[in-house]
Amino acid sequence: MIAGSRPSTPKRVAVLAFDGVVLGDLSVPIEIFGRALDPSRRKAYEVRVFSEEPSVETEHVRLLVPWRLSSLSWAGTVIIPGVSDPNRPISPRLVASIQRAAARGVRIASICSGAFLLAATGLLDGRRATTHWMAASELAQRHPAVEVDADVLYVDNGEVLTSAGAAAGLDLCLHLVRRDFGARVAADAARAAVMPLERAGGQAQFIVHPPPASAESLQPILSWMEAHLERDQPTAVIAKRAAMSTRTLSRRFREQTGSSPAQWLIRARVRRAQQLLESGSSSIEEVAAQVGFGTAAILREHFNKLVGTSPQAYRRAFKTDAAAAGGAGGDT
DNA sequence: AAAGCTACCCGCCAAT
DNA sequence: TGATTGGCGGGTAGCT
């Protein structure tokens, strides 16, 4: 990865807005970059939203956007959210602004159908790119020079990045934070934005392309751990399995997942417990055993801390959703 | 519910 | 000589 580049000033992130912009795609980068704190607990990024006209129309609301494209030269990173209708005409001024930014060496990333706008600039020509899977063939058809790959969450070409659906936009943003500040900061940012922690690192197996999994990748160990959650997994044993000292293992975890071995394990277990509670019907005790928590009490403790509710309540909520559609409300 | 015990984590530093 | 590793220790989180 690109180490060393010291972020002396906060990175400047410009999020583009335009008529028909998808609100979710607009808000994800704002939340992630806006909340990220660098290791000294200062704001890691400055976020501004830019548009051609002060007022932007979305499907359901109208937005007042504070910054104009004319001052886009401020940006160090430009995020292009998706558009609800890819057939909507694309503004030439918008395209030109993005091209100018790219020419200055600004990093450009698109979320979901934002890839259409990005492709219109020609910046994706000859490069691999992705978009929402439903729009992938359309993108490939319109831009034959772009190598469209619908099977990955995001594609990192260095200074030009694309991502698939809205959730993948989140992954992409966290990926950028990780690139800029490391896994720990990215994990914290995910937590701060109340996003699924797993996405911050490690077990996103299905992110195919991203950082060239370095030689010392933990991926195999993580997979093994996840496949054997029910076992007792002391860090010493994991370390032996990974053929490194516990100290080094701890470092690798910190770098690559943003957390420690034991913490990562706990999160994997809670996540697994969630799945079991959603679908299965085992007792809480059984679930605890199946995911490797010694007792139901321990499961409850961690579950509460990470999910915010008790396993029972969590299951009840899911069962209610799935089974009865007409039931009266009455949850928290 | 409190207390004690164990395992873990990470800064620090010597060794590689 | 700079970078990486692994051991040590003590403060803490987790478990009994």
Quote the CA–CA distance of A265 and A300 in Å, as a whole number.
Answer: 15
In this predicted structure, what is the pLDDT of residue A195?
56
Is residue A311 within 8 A of residue A300, CB to CB? The reply is yes
Angle A89-A92-A95 from CA coordinates, rounded to 5°: 105
SS3 A82: coil
Is residue A264 within 8 A of residue A224, CB to CB? The reply is no
- What is the residue type of A272? R
Nucleotide C5: nearest residue by CA–C1'?
A248
Nucleotide C4: nearest residue by CA–C1'?
A248
Sheet of strand A67-68, all strands in order from the earlier edge strand to the far edge: A67-68, A45-51, A11-16, A77-80, A107-111, A160-163, A154-156
Q: How far is CA A39 from the centre of its chain?
A: 20
Which strand C nucleotides have any atom less than 7 A from protein CB atoms?
Answer: 5-8, 14-16
Let me know if A241 is exposed, middle or buried by CB neighbors in 10 A (0-12, 13-18, 19+). middle
In this predicted structure, what is the pLDDT of residue A280?
85
Quote the CA–CA distance of A90 and A48 in Å, as a whole number.
Answer: 21
- Residue by residue, pLDDT tens for chain A (332 residues) are 444 344 334 599 999 999 999 999 999 999 999 989 888 888 999 999 999 999 999 989 999 999 999 999 999 999 999 999 999 999 999 999 999 999 999 999 999 999 999 999 999 999 999 999 889 999 999 999 999 988 788 888 889 999 988 788 988 998 899 888 888 888 888 777 755 545 444 334 334 444 445 557 888 899 999 999 999 999 999 999 999 999 999 999 998 888 999 999 999 999 899 889 988 889 999 999 999 999 999 999 999 988 888 999 888 877 765 554 433 333 33
A293 touches strand C (CB under 7 A): yes
- Distance from residue A320 (CA) to nucleotide C16 (C1'), in Å? 36
Quote the CA–CA distance of A169 and A321 in Å, as a whole number.
Answer: 27
Quote the CA–CA distance of A270 and A201 in Å, as a whole number.
Answer: 16
Model's pTM, two decimal places? 0.75
Q: Name, in order, each residue with C-beta under 8 angstroms of A40's C-beta and a sequence gap of 6 or more.
A: none
In this predicted structure, what is the pLDDT of residue A185?
86
In this predicted structure, what is the pLDDT of residue A200?
44
A244 touches strand B (CB under 7 A): no
- Distance from residue A332 (CA) to nucleotide B4 (C1'), in Å? 37
A294 touches strand C (CB under 7 A): yes
Quote the CA–CA distance of A326 and A218 in Å, as a whole number.
Answer: 47
DSSP state of A293: -
Q: Name, in order, each residue with C-beta under 8 angstroms of A176's C-beta and a sequence gap of 6 or more.
A: A33, A77, A107, A109, A161
